[in-house]
Amino acid sequence: MARQTMQQAVVAGIAEEMRRDAGVFIMGLDIGQFGGPLNSCKGLWEEFGAARVIDTPISEGGIVGAGVGAALMGKRPIVDIMFLEYLGLVLQQLGCDGGAMHYYSDGKARVPLVVRAKFGVGPYHGHAYDYHAWVAHLPGIKVAMPSNARDAKGMVKAAIRDDNPVLFLEHMGLYHGTRDEIPEGDIVVPLGEAKLVRAGRDVTVVAIGAMVRRAQLAGEALAEEGVEIEILDLRCIVPLDKERILSSVAKTGRMVVVSEAMKFCGSGAEIAAMVAEEGFRFLKAPIGRVATPNVPIPFARNLEKMIIPDENAIAAGVRRAMATG
Amino acid sequence: MSNRNETWIALHRLMLATRELDRVIGAADGHWHPALGEEAVVAGCYHGLRQGDALVPHYRGMIAASYARGGDLARLLAGLEGKATSYTRGRYRSDVCGPIEFGIIGLYSGALGPTLEYAAGAALAAKLDARGGVALAVFGDGTASRGNFHEALNLAAVLCLPVVFVCQNNQFAISTSSAREHGGRIVDRAAGFGVPGQLVDGNDVVAVHDAVQGAIARARRGEGPALIDAFTYRVGGHMASDPGNYRSSEEVEKWKARDPIALHEARLLSEGVLDAAKIAELRAAVSAEVEAAMRKAQSDPMPGPEVLGLDRVFAGGV
Ligand SMILES: Cc1ncc(C[n+]2csc(CCOP(=O)(O)OP(=O)(O)O)c2C)c(N)n1
Q: Is the pLDDT of residue A123 over 90?
A: no
ipTM: 0.97
- pLDDT, residue A124, reads 79
Distance CA B239, CA B34 (A): 6
Q: Return contacts of A28-35, CB within 8 angstroms, 24+ apart.
A: A28/A54, A28/A55, A28/A56, A28/A63, A28/A79, A28/A80, A28/A81, A28/A82, A28/A116, A29/A55, A29/A56, A29/A57, A29/A58, A29/A80, A29/A82, A30/A55, A31/A55, A31/A80
Question: Using an 8 Å Cβ cutoff, are B163 and B239 in contact?
Answer: no
Nearest to A65 among B117, B314, B318 (CB): B117
| Interface residue ranges in chain B relative to chain A, Cβ cutoff 8 Å | 54, 56, 87-89, 91-92, 97, 99-101, 105, 108-109, 111, 114, 116-126, 128, 135, 147-148, 151-152, 154-155, 158-159, 311-316, 318
Residue A95's identity, in one-letter code, is G
Distance CA B125, CA A110 (A): 14
B177: β partners: B172
Nearest to B155 among A25, A66, A101 (CB): A66
pLDDT tens-digit map of A125-181: 888 899 999 999 999 999 999 999 999 999 999 999 999 999 999 999 999 988 999
Residue B172 alpha carbon, nearest atom of ligand 1: 20
- pLDDT, residue A187, reads 94
**How many other C-beta atoms lie within 10 A of the C-beta of residue B257?**
9
Pairs of residues, one from chain A and one from chain B, whose beta carbons lie less than 8 Å apart: 153
- pLDDT, residue A184, reads 87
- pLDDT, residue A321, reads 97
Question: What is the band of A55 on the pLDDT scale with cuts at 50, 70, 90?
Answer: very high
Q: Is the pLDDT of residue A278 over 90?
A: yes
Q: Is the pLDDT of residue A1 over 80?
A: no
Question: What is the band of B87 on the pLDDT scale with cuts at 50, 70, 90?
Answer: very high
Q: Is the pLDDT of residue A74 over 80?
A: yes
Question: What is the band of B1 on the pLDDT scale with cuts at 50, 70, 90?
Answer: confident
Distance CA A37, CA B193 (A): 27
Rounded mean pLDDT, B218-243 = 97
**How many other C-beta atoms lie within 10 A of the C-beta of residue A309?**
23
Cα→Cα distances A9→A4, A27, A28, A91, B123, Å: 6, 19, 19, 27, 31
- pLDDT, residue B2, reads 85
Question: What is the band of A122 on the pLDDT scale with cuts at 50, 70, 90?
Answer: confident
Question: Using an 8 Å Cβ cutoff, are B256 and B234 in contact?
Answer: no
Phi, psi of A100 (to 5 degrees): -95, -15
Rounded mean pLDDT, A266-279 = 97
Distance CA A102, CA A68 (A): 12
SS (H, E, C) B91-138: CCCCCCCCCHHHCECCCCCCCCCHHHHHHHHHHHHHHHHCCCCCEEEE
For residue B251, how far is its CA from the centre of ligand 1 (angstroms)? Answer: 21
CATH architecture assigned to B3-301: 3-Layer(aba) Sandwich (3.40)
Rounded mean pLDDT, B228-235 = 98
Considering only CA atoms, give the Rg of chain B.
19
On the 0-12 / 13-18 / 19+ scale of CB atoms within 10 A, B15 is buried
Angle at A120 between CA A115 and CA A123, to 5 degrees: 120
A102 is catalytic: no
Residues within a 6 A CB radius of ligand 1:
B 60, 110-113, 140-143, 170, 172-174, 234, 238
Phi, psi of A71 (to 5 degrees): -65, -40
Q: Is the pLDDT of residue A325 over 80?
A: no
Rounded mean pLDDT, B159-172 = 98
Distance CA B209, CA B215 (A): 10
Task: Kindly report the average pLDDT of chain A as a whole number.
Answer: 96
From B35, B30, B41, select the one nearest B63 (Cα to Cα): B35
Residue B112 alpha carbon, nearest atom of ligand 1: 26
In chain A, domain spans: 2-182, 195-323
Rounded mean pLDDT, B276-293 = 98
Distance CA A178, CA A12 (A): 16
CATH topology of domain A195-323: Rossmann fold (3.40.50)
Q: Is the pLDDT of residue A39 over 80?
A: yes
Distance CA A164, CA A160 (A): 9
For the domain covering A2-182, report its CATH number. Answer: 3.40.50.970
Question: Using an 8 Å Cβ cutoff, are B114 and B108 in contact?
Answer: no
pLDDT tens-digit map of B191-217: 999 999 999 999 999 999 999 999 999
C-alpha count within 13 angstroms, C-beta hemisphere, residue B102: 24
Task: Kindly report the average pLDDT of chain B as a whole number.
Answer: 97
- pLDDT, residue B145, reads 98
Rounded mean pLDDT, B120-140 = 97
Cα→Cα distances A281→A244, A284, B117, Å: 16, 8, 49
**CB-CB under 8 Å, A104 with B97:** yes
Q: Can you say how many angstroms the Cα of residue B99 is from the centroid of all Cα atoms in its chain?
A: 14
Question: Using an 8 Å Cβ cutoff, are A239 and B318 in contact?
Answer: yes
The residue count of chain B comes to 318
Question: Using an 8 Å Cβ cutoff, are A73 and B127 in contact?
Answer: no
- Taking contacts as CB-CB distances below 8 angstroms, the residues of chain B near A162 are 315-316
CB proximity list for B66: less than 8 A, separation 6 or greater: B57, B76, B94, B98, B99, B102, B104
pLDDT tens-digit map of B9-21: 999 999 999 999 9
Distance CA B47, CA B264 (A): 15
Lowest mean pLDDT across A119-133, A209-223, A260-274, B52-66: A119-133
Distance CA B213, CA A86 (A): 38
pTM: predicted TM-score of the whole model, two decimal places = 0.97
C-alpha count within 13 angstroms, C-beta hemisphere, residue B95: 18
Rounded mean pLDDT, A59-69 = 98
pLDDT tens-digit map of B99-119: 999 999 999 999 999 999 999
In chain B, domain spans: 3-301
Lowest mean pLDDT across A43-47, A59-63, A182-186, B67-71: A182-186
Chain A nearest-CA distance from B183, in A, is: 23
A228 is catalytic: no
Q: Is the pLDDT of residue B182 over 80?
A: yes
